[in-house]
Amino acid sequence: MPKAFTEYEKETIRAQMREKGAKLFEKRGLKKTSVDELTAAVGISKGAFYLFFESKEELFLEILEELEKDFRARIFNFAVNPKTKARALLAKLLNDALLTWDEFPLLKNLTLADFDYLIRKLPPDRIQKHVNQDDDFVNEFLERIKREGIAVKAPPSVIANLMKSLFFVSLHRDDLGSKDYVETMKVLTDLIARYIVEGT
């Protein structure tokens, strides 16, 4: 039976699981990384692992969400002039966000197969919680744009789907080819910006 941990130990182990887990997932991928490898990296028993996470997939999603928080914080760290080329500025923002996404190996290397595997392995309510976080981000993103004085002309639900579509296209990076992928995303971000905001 796993030993009882103090609250401090729990926080420390959980942080180590995220840190070590991220490195293992980056190196070996989601499917090939085992719970045994994750626990060995942190120095706890396999039984103790399940005191913290129901599965390695849940750990992976928690790591993913931590990276997304950083990613989203960078997106919100922008300033625009609503009187000048709002569409072009928004397109650049979306495109720069995708380039920022590429700075995180775990995000950049996430494949469609990994995503499908994650969906199959995690409980529906956990997936729904993640979807809700995505929707909250889009709503916050739109509010930020409006506060900058940029008029949004598209329905929020459609904008949310368009932004999600960029993520799904990124899962097909290998299919598109690295050079074509960059150009394709540039075109898509420009089209989405044109749909979202009024102005030039």
Q: Are 170 and 98 in contact (CB under 8 A)?
A: yes
Measured CA distances, 185 to 127, 138, 181 (Å): 26, 18, 6
Shared-domain flag, residues 130 and 165:
yes
pLDDT digits (tens, 9 = 90+) for 89-135: 778 878 877 777 778 888 888 888 898 999 999 999 999 999 888 88
Q: What is the mean pLDDT of residues 64-81?
A: 74
pLDDT score recorded for residue 39: 95
Our CA angle for 133, 134, 140, nearest 5°, is 90
Q: What is the mean pLDDT of residues 28-46?
A: 94
Q: What is the mean pLDDT of residues 173-196?
A: 88
Cα separation, 61 vs 31, in Å, equals: 13
Shared-domain flag, residues 189 and 133:
yes
Q: What is the mean pLDDT of residues 178-187?
A: 87
pLDDT score recorded for residue 37: 96
pLDDT score recorded for residue 63: 94
Shared-domain flag, residues 32 and 65:
no
Report whether pLDDT(194) > 60: yes
Cα separation, 52 vs 66, in Å, equals: 16
Shared-domain flag, residues 136 and 156:
yes
Report whether pLDDT(45) > 60: yes
Q: How many CB atoms lie within 10 A of CB 36?
A: 10
Shared-domain flag, residues 5 and 62:
no
Shared-domain flag, residues 75 and 136:
yes
SS (H, E, C) the chain: CCCCCCHHHHHHHHHHHHHHHHHHHHHHCCCCCCHHHHHHHHCCCHHHHHHHCCCHHHHHHHHHHHHHHHHHHHHHCCCCCCCCCHHHHHHHHHHHHHHHHCCCHHHHCCCHHHHHHHHHHCCHHHHHHHHHHHHHHHHHHHHHHHHCCCCECCCHHHHHHHHHHHHHHHCCHHHHCHHHHHHHHHHHHHHHHHHHECCC
Shared-domain flag, residues 3 and 95:
no
Shared-domain flag, residues 136 and 77:
yes
Domain containing 139 — which CATH number? 1.10.357
Shared-domain flag, residues 28 and 109:
no
Name, of 49-53, 109-113, 182-186, the range with top average pLDDT.
49-53
Shared-domain flag, residues 43 and 59:
no
pLDDT score recorded for residue 155: 86
pLDDT score recorded for residue 86: 73
Domain containing 14 — which CATH number? 1.10.10.60
Shared-domain flag, residues 67 and 139:
yes
pLDDT score recorded for residue 198: 65
Shared-domain flag, residues 46 and 70:
no
Tell which of 38, 53, 68 closes a domain.
Answer: 53
Cα separation, 67 vs 19, in Å, equals: 11
pTM (2 d.p.): 0.81
Average pLDDT of the chain, as a whole number:
85
pLDDT score recorded for residue 58: 96
pLDDT score recorded for residue 2: 57
Number of domains in the chain: 2
pLDDT tier at 159 (50, 70, 90 boundaries)?
A: confident
Q: Are 64 and 25 in contact (CB under 8 A)?
A: no
Residue 131: which domain range? 55-196
Q: What is the mean pLDDT of residues 154-172?
A: 86
pLDDT score recorded for residue 163: 84
Tell which of 53, 72, 93 closes a domain.
Answer: 53
Q: What's the alpha-carbon Rg for the chain, to the nearest Å?
A: 19
**Among the listed ranges 27-36, 76-85, 104-113, which one has the minimum average pLDDT value?**
76-85
